[in-house]
Amino acid sequence: MATTAIARFEAQNNALDIGAYSAAPYGNWIQSTAASDLSFNGPIALNPNGGYVGVGVAAPGNHLEVMNDGGSGFNERIALKPLRQIQLILVLQTATGTAAAPEI
């Protein structure tokens, strides 16, 4: 099966492709698929044995923490904490303080 990936890792019929866009805005991509069928979209597990995952965060303090400084003066942070129920916390941080939205 042909792919535009620049790297492919295969085990049994599972494949993890890593590629780069050739047009603006460029960037890179990761796709989990079947080695013989690119129409199959498989899951990607990060730290399946435990631990924290951060996107835009050097030292995440939650199972999943995503930080974005979009240049607006606010740092938007989304954190998922391990609880018996799903809890999503959205926190807007400024240089002068932190304002947390109510927990959902």
Profile the chain (104 residues) by mean pLDDT over runs of 10 residues.
Answer: 79 91 85 92 86 84 77 66 57 55 47
pLDDT on residue 103:
47
pLDDT on residue 37:
92
HEC-encoded secondary structure of 39-81: CCCCCCCCCCCCCCEEECCCCCCCCEEEEEECCCCCEEEEEEC
Q: Which of 44, 61, 79 is the last residue of a domain?
A: 44
Q: Are residues 40 and 2 in the same domain?
A: yes
Q: Are residues 96 and 73 in the same domain?
A: yes
pLDDT on residue 92:
58
Which residue range is the domain that position 76 belongs to?
Answer: 53-100
pLDDT on residue 97:
55
Question: What pTM was estimated for this model as a whole?
Answer: 0.60
Q: Are residues 63 and 91 in the same domain?
A: yes
Q: Are residues 1 and 38 in the same domain?
A: yes
